[in-house]
Structure 1
């Protein structure tokens, strides 16, 4: 029975990866599994705040200690606030903790492991311990299948023309296929694990299922293609967002009250994620685009940890004064889901991180896409393809233009384009919500079968 099954979950060290793992953990807990969620102590402090009393006896937090160095102290054992030049150092430090993780797994003896594809080497630890393992990429299936396609079939066009990465986007570190797949190649190395020379376990234990944070209504053809090229069963489990009832933070109610004074679909929410920081040039063009659009807005502005800058210094001169009656600038954080649910929101200006795309669709809000790097341009193209977004097209020099931004915002909030998008997005939202339980039930059945094969 599922009630006796222990599932070990191992996300990458970024909040954007940890959160969907945690939400999946809650879904599995609701269906009788005991969950052991493993990360570094600094990340577990973040996770603890999101585990309610309901899950306190079924979701257990497991500390994985990494080596501390002067360059990478314990408070940098997370991507949150990590200086970009230390990302490869963190990745390599995590790899060197394989033996620690191996010993944790030997102690817990889980029936199954769900691991982030960034840690591809986890599959070898699972194999050495005879534990079934399930891959969990937290990005879109379109992006993941595109990366794998380019890795497996170099020089061949991706079979879906709507999804591509231009040469200029590639130069901006968009879906770096070579670097993204180094981990796959490194799985063939057994030198740094004492048990890797033991005989191979059956292939089904580590290569039979991949779970994806998506739904068939959005990415059916990409799921089918990913299944074809990996020879794995690809199962979707929905968007995996925190239950709105669990988040009762009222410190931003003033923003909601402000929105309540605006007419329906008259405002945009603007946010570019928790771990990307706009250049001064991009920030200026976005600010002036918002100003030229004459649309109400809430804009979440973030600066890197340790960078002290006043909003007046970061934004164009006089901007705050000129937009004070129709714009709110929030530094650091705002209740994104609560804002997107508000009826006065008519569009979401965002970077198209996969979480933001799914959240916007779930709440029936059209996307004004301004992708920045990594898989975001692919997510933006996917959102356009399914009728949920309009992308702000950059100039030949890849620079944003305030006039283009203003026009797209007006088209979505005021024009007929926005009416069509809203209809499309609301239909998608209904389809996602109606299929989520069925998809989760299918995944649980597969997990139960895998555990039974151990």
Structure 2
């Protein structure tokens, strides 16, 4: 039996996410939850990326130390572009190359700081071996849900290379499922998944990370996707530990209060559950035609809407797309377009908001379901298509009908989809499911138990077993304890 003091020691955990805010924010949320237990976090990233993160509450600042590693220079990658939101799709491979250049400085940091654990992202394919050589236990923390990870990264042989290969259920998925990409979704990301020219593919990176890590932590929960979590355990033959859905916790309250005050005043004038909140994250890029159809669909729906709009183009240049002429004038009073920062959680929490029109990014999904908001989905890139299939299967989200080949959609399909989910009887299932899911996604006690399980029942046990059995060359893994309810 372990001594009581053994069970209460404090860990030092280093974290190294990919340079995308859709990755850094979940890592920071997990860091906050771990720090609340009294453990020390070293959060490693580049200076500009760290400076753009939300500010921590004062009680957590002493426990979360930000480690700034300057991003190495890479030819044709402009200075100060330190996150995916700064670059075009063609420049992401340059950002990955610069990120890989952090191997030497992060190794020096790990040698000097000697953390108990290192959590890293799928991109850092060279880091598991570095951690092992330094005697540091390592975990791949996946911000992708289990269904996405199982679909994309099997441990078994995988020779997929064409769009069609990613449009069907893989043979290693033993249960019925519609989780797969649609043609227009996979066509947009295929080159980054399988690689081109001399780039290191996303799938190779993820496979190497999974091969080399000691365990896999994943942003998921047994209540949401138990079949996919069990499949991951079968595929990888190493512990797969869900850490919960990570609904956002408070940062330092530096909201632009005047901005929120004016938004709230506008929302207060609208009827309960009548407003469509429209937001597609910080990186979604639409063509001019897509933006036009989206805007005219909102107008045609005749529903009140609040739209957080970013107008950078998807064309790979600096041109900005434009709203249709007269759109804001015609929808004045009924709709409001916000071109700057907006407090998404506060907006979603307002009782006038009934539907969230979203890109299916998982952080946005978690925020919506935490607050019982029904979802209408319009995928843009990355894992969003797989997220959407999961939600379609579970009747949590309704996808706007689109052309299978190019992903185009019409103003009529936008308007009809919004009215279906917001108003119609056949959309009631989505409204009801959102309320049902809030019991999982919004349960703070459940989230806390997942973090406790991750820390106390897994990380501590594994570290102690490794420490006590110095003669073994590989880490001895104790069976994963699951969280139920």
| TM above 0.5 | yes
- CA spacing shift, 1:376–1:184, aligned 2, 3 Å: closer
Q: Residue 453 of structure 2 aligns with which residue?
A: 442
Q: Residue 141 of structure 2 aligns with which residue?
A: 136
The equivalent position to 1:19 in structure 2, one of 3, 25, 45, is 25
Displacement, 1:186? 6.4
Q: Residue 191 of structure 1 aligns with which residue?
A: none
- CA spacing shift, 1:236–1:146, aligned 2, 3 Å: same
- C-alpha distance in 1, partners of 2:328/2:156? 47
Check if 1:31 corresponds to 2:43: no
Alignment of 1:50-449 (within 5 A): 50-69=55-74, 71-149=76-154, 152-154=157-159, 156-157=170-171, 158-159=173-174, 160-173=176-189, 177-178=193-194, 179-184=201-206, 207-244=213-250, 246-249=252-255, 250=257, 251-304=259-312, 307=318, 309=320, 314-397=322-405, 398-432=407-441, 433=443, 434-445=445-456, 446-449=458-461
Contact 1:346/1:412 (8 A) holds in 2 = no
Deviations 1:203-256 (A, max 9, x none): 9xx534211112222221111111111112222222224324744511222112
- C-alpha distance in 2, partners of 1:186/1:137? 13
CA RMSD of aligned residues (A): 2.3
Contact 2:392/2:398 (8 A) holds in 1 = yes
Contact 1:270/1:350 (8 A) holds in 2 = yes
- CA spacing shift, 1:330–1:140, aligned 2, 3 Å: same
- C-alpha distance in 1, partners of 2:360/2:129? 33
Displacement, 1:161? 2.1
Contact 1:121/1:187 (8 A) holds in 2 = yes
- C-alpha distance in 2, partners of 1:175/1:239? 29
Displacement, 1:54? 0.8
Deviations 1:248-286 (A, max 9, x none): 511222112211111111111001110111111110111
- Secondary structure of the 1:54 match is coil
Deviations 1:111-163 (A, max 9, x none): 11011122122111101101100111112221111101397444644444220
- C-alpha distance in 1, partners of 2:433/2:375? 11
Displacement, 1:182? 2.3
Q: Residue 6 of structure 1 aligns with which residue?
A: 12
Displacement, 1:426? 1.3
Deviations 1:411-449 (A, max 9, x none): 111112343222211111112315212212111121112
Q: How many residues align?
A: 434
- C-alpha distance in 2, partners of 1:174/1:321? 40
Contact 1:8/1:112 (8 A) holds in 2 = yes
Displacement, 1:337? 0.8
Contact 1:395/1:401 (8 A) holds in 2 = no
Contact 2:40/2:64 (8 A) holds in 1 = yes
Check if 1:451 corresponds to 2:463: yes
Displacement, 1:167? 3.3
Displacement, 1:308? 6.6
- Secondary structure of the 1:55 match is coil
- CA spacing shift, 1:186–1:219, aligned 2, 3 Å: closer
- CA spacing shift, 1:394–1:325, aligned 2, 3 Å: same
Instruction: Provide structure 2 residue ranges, at least 5 long, that are not aligned to the other structure.
Output: 1-5, 160-164, 195-200, 468-485
Contact 1:357/1:379 (8 A) holds in 2 = no
Q: Which runs of 4+ in 1 moved over 3 A?
A: 1-4, 149-160, 174-177, 184-188, 244-248, 304-309
- Secondary structure of the 1:269 match is strand
TM-score, normalization: structure 1?
0.89
Contact 2:221/2:243 (8 A) holds in 1 = yes
Contact 1:8/1:37 (8 A) holds in 2 = yes
Q: Quick check: which one's helix share is greater? A: 1
- C-alpha distance in 2, partners of 1:258/1:365? 19
- Secondary structure of the 1:235 match is strand
Contact 1:142/1:222 (8 A) holds in 2 = yes
Contact 1:81/1:304 (8 A) holds in 2 = no
- Secondary structure of the 2:338 match is strand
| 360-369 vs 147-156, which moves further | 147-156
